[in-house]
A and B are shown apart, each in its own frame.
Chain A
Amino acid sequence: MQWMYIFIAGLLEIIWVIGLRYSEGFTVLVPSIITLITLAISFYLFSKSLKFLPIGTAYAIFTGLGAAGTAIVGILYFQESASPSKLFFLSLMLIGIIGLKMTTSDDTKETEVLEEGK
C-alpha cells in the first residue's frame, strides 16, 4: 500500500507541475486551483509513504516519477524533443525505481499497515 501512496504522489506531481506552467504565476484561476489541490494531495500522500519507506528511497522515487512523467508528457503533448540522451536518462530512472521496488522490504511492523491489510 505504501508503494501506491508514493506512485500516486508522483503522478499528481506531474499534474501540478503542468498546472503550475498554465497558472502563469498563479494569475489564471482554474489551473491555479488545480495546482494547489493536486500539490496538497501529492504532499499528503508523500508524507504517508514516508511512514513506511526509507526517506532516501521515497524522495528519490517521488522526484524521479515527477521528472520522468513531466518529460514524457512534454514529449507527447508539448512537442518537446525525444532526444536519445533523454530516453537514456529515463531508462536509468526506470531501472532504479523498479529495482528499488523489488529490493526494498516493506516494513509491516507498523500497525496501520496491518489494519489496512485486513
Chain B
Amino acid sequence: MAWIFLFIAGICEIGAVASLKLAEGFKKLVPSICFVVIGLSSFYFLSLALKEIPMGTAYAVWTGIGSAGSVALGMIFFQESKDRIRIFLLSLIIIGVIGLKISQ
C-alpha cells in the first residue's frame, strides 16, 4: 500500500507543477488553489508512504516521478523542446537527484 501512496504522491507532484505553470505567478485564482491543494496532497501521500518506505528511497522515487513527469507533460501539453541534448541533460539531473537520495 505504501508504494501506491508513493505513486499517487508522485502523480500529484506533476499535477502541482502543471497548476503552478497555469497559475502564472499566482495571478490566476483557480490554478493557484489547485496548486496548493494538489501540492499538499502530494506531501500528505508522501508522508503516508514514509511510514513504510525509507526516506532516501521514497524521496528519490517521488522526485523521479515528478521530474520525469514534468518533462513529459511539458513536451505533450506545453510544446516544450524535444531536443536530444535537452533530454540528455535533464536525465543527468534526474539520475543525479535519484542517485544522491538513494546513497544517503
Contact = CB atoms under 8 A, between A and B. Distances in A.
Interface of A: 43-44, 46-48, 50-51, 54-57, 59-61, 63-64, 67-68, 71, 74, 80, 83, 85-86, 88-93, 95-97, 99-100, 103-104
A63 B66 contact: yes
Interface residues of B, number: 38
Contacts, number: 120
A57 B66 contact: no
Contacts of A46: 20
Interface string B19-35: 01101111000000001
A67 B21 contact: no
Interface of B: 17-18, 20-21, 23-26, 35, 63, 66-67, 70-75, 78, 80-81, 83, 85-86, 89-97, 99-101, 103-104
